Structure 1
Amino acid sequence: MVDAISQGSAVTMHFAIKLTDGSVADSTKVNNKPARFVMGDGNLTESFEQCLLGLKAGDAKSFELAPEQAFGQPNPDNIHHLDRMKFNAEVPAEVGTVVAFAQPDGTEIPGIVREVAGDSVTVDFNHPLAGQTVIFDVEIITVGAE
């Protein structure tokens, strides 16, 4: 009997996240390392998990997700203006640089330098794919019990 993906299923799959222009934002095939996770363990958002429900090993599907179903819309509260003094040779204040800042709880949050003006550096802490419609391509390899 072939197991269909349901809540609690252990899943091994290849996936790609593409933008509507066809560019690939992420893919497990680059390093040929499939993703392994348990449905509901928090590795995927609920919207991404909903796409997988009912699929079986050997299935390949493509889903288009609006920003609200994928990485959300950009939040203006996640854009911060920081003092240029917080940057150095290892972490340059250059547009496009990805920087990680420690949170009070010790976790790190990545941000992208969007603008440098005088002593002010604008850093965007929104997910890089926020505001984007994405195509979620999946190829299910195995489905099992947790």
Structure 2
Amino acid sequence: MMANPDTTVADGVVVSLHYTLRSADSEIIDSSVEVGPLVILQGYEEVIPGLENALYGMTVGDEKDVIVEPAAGYGERDDTAYEVLSLDLFPEGMELEPGMELDLYDQETQQEFLAWVAEVNDENVVLDFNHPLAGETLY
């Protein structure tokens, strides 16, 4: 189905877009160009707030450069959002490396969340609960 060229991005509109995400020093962090467009339902918090807000009012074929400050991106870094866990809590033979993303599940709250391995030594694993792009201005 072809998009109506007169459709303006508003809540409830399906949006298909290509993006290139860059760091402050212009390094490409992520891009949809080679993998295909990102498809979202506008207004349902499927992307960071800074991008979602920038899409409002755009129409088919529009292009826009967007700068997203940390508060509208992945938040500020929280220096208390680290936890040291015993290596014994992880499955034997699991190869943990700094930067590795882990999908975790809290049995008490039944909540799923992400953490990133910050450090591994012979006894412990340090988990970082900040998103890797927390504190970064995104371009």
- The alignment's TM-score, normalised by the length of structure 2, stands at 0.82
Where does residue 94 of structure 1 map in the other structure? 97
Provide the C-alpha distance between the structure 2 equivalents of 1:35 and 1:97, rounded to a whole number of angstroms.
24
Structure 1: which 5+ residue stretches go unaligned?
136-146
Structure 2: which 5+ residue stretches go unaligned?
none
Contact 2:18 2:31 in 1 (8 A): yes
Contact 1:14 1:29 in 2 (8 A): yes
Contact 2:104 2:114 in 1 (8 A): yes
Does 1:9 find its partner at 2:13? yes
1:82-121 paired onto structure 2 within 5 Å = 82-87=85-90, 88-90=92-94, 92-104=95-107, 106=110, 108-121=112-125
Q: Which structure is higher in strand share?
A: 1
Q: Deviations over 1:91-137 (max 9, x none)?
A: x24333332222335554332221234422211021111011101xx
Which secondary structure does the structure 2 equivalent of 1:48 belong to? helix
Where does residue 143 of structure 1 map in the other structure? none
Q: Give the structure, 1 or 2, with the largest relative contact order (CA under 8 Å, sep 6 or more).
A: 1
Point out 4+ residue stretches in structure 1 off by more than 6 angstroms.
none
Q: Percent identity?
A: 26
Where does residue 48 of structure 1 map in the other structure? 51
Displacement of 1:67 after TM fit?
Answer: 0.8
- The alignment's TM-score, normalised by the length of structure 1, stands at 0.78
